[in-house]
Structure 1
Amino acid sequence: MSELLIKSFELTRSKLVKSVEMLDGANVDVQPVGFNNTIHWHVGHVLTVAEQFMFGFPIKSTSLPANYMEFFATGTKPADWQGEVPSIKVLAEQLKDQMNRIKVIPAESFSEKLKTPFLGQETFGELANFAIFHEAIHLGQIQAMNRVIETANTK
């Protein structure tokens, strides 16, 4: 099962990173009408939530700065950002690094029971699968937002 999870993570993450690297930098901080956040926020959110699910951020993992919770946790928004927010380029590099760390998680870890189930997920493997699902949802949002922004820019 762990091989399938890693393969799915790699597929989704590679598509996300390619999409992010192809973005027009002027579009990433635009919040189109009808959307709650920006592309910049979505990219940081995916990174931060995956770090939470896969590595116990911010308590067990120090691979990302602790202030990412203030910028990208569920319920945050760019309008409230204060301080130095990491660039899209930095976030893309961190997404790649995170994927490398995910790939070396021991296979036996995926069958471990969670201390507290999360949204019906009872094992670490189920939580990893949920992280992939979460990432794919946000990838779709990023792609939709980018299309809306590009369409508005051509008018």
Structure 2
Amino acid sequence: MSELLIKSFELTRSFVLKTVDALSENTVDVQPEGFNNTIHWHIGHILTCAEQFMFGFPKKSAHLPENYMQLFATGTKPANWQGDVPSIQELSARLKDQIIRIKEIPAESFNERLKTPFLGLETFGEVANFAVFHESNHLGQILAMKRMIETAQTK
């Protein structure tokens, strides 16, 4: 099971990184009508949530700055950003580092039962599977937003 989860993570993350690398600067901070956030926010959100799901950020992981919770956690939005906001390039580098760390998680960890179920999930493997689903969902949002922004910019 863990091998399949890691492959799913690698595949999804490779699509995220390919998409991020192809973004133009004039699209990442535009908030299209009907959307709550920007592409920039979604990229940071993917990174921050994967760190939470896979490594227990911020309590058990120091791989990301603590202010990422104020910037990218569920319920946050760019309109409220204060202080140092990481660039797309920094977020991309951290996404690349993170997938390396995810691939190093011992296979037996995925069978570990959670002390407290999360969204009805009872094992670390189930949470990891949810993390892949979550990342894919936000990739879809990024792609939809990119298309809308680019269409509006060409008119």
Length-normalised TM-score, structure 2: 0.99
Could you say which residue in structure 2 is the equivalent of 1:126?
Answer: 126
2 CA distance for matches of 1:92 and 1:17? 7
Could you say which residue in structure 2 is the equivalent of 1:92?
Answer: 92
Could you say which residue in structure 2 is the equivalent of 1:21?
Answer: 21
2 CA distance for matches of 1:130 and 1:98? 16
1 CA distance for matches of 2:83 and 2:67? 9
Unaligned runs of 5+ in 2: none
Pair 1:64-2:92 in alignment: no
Residue aligned with 1:27, SS: coil
Residue aligned with 1:116, SS: strand
Percent identity of paired positions between Structure 1 and Structure 2: 74
Could you say which residue in structure 2 is the equivalent of 1:49?
Answer: 49
Could you say which residue in structure 1 is the equivalent of 2:32?
Answer: 32
Could you say which residue in structure 2 is the equivalent of 1:148?
Answer: 148
Runs of 4+ in 1 over 3 A off after TM superposition: none
Residue by residue over 1:64-103, the C-alpha shift from the partner in whole angstroms, topping out at 9 and shown as x without a partner, is: 0000000000000000000110000100010010000000
Shift of 1:110: 0.1
Length-normalised TM-score, structure 1: 0.99
- Aligned partner letter, 1:73: A
- Aligned partner letter, 2:9: F
Unaligned runs of 5+ in 1: none
Could you say which residue in structure 2 is the equivalent of 1:74?
Answer: 74
1 CA distance for matches of 2:3 and 2:67? 32
How many aligned residue pairs are there?
A: 155
- Aligned partner letter, 2:2: S
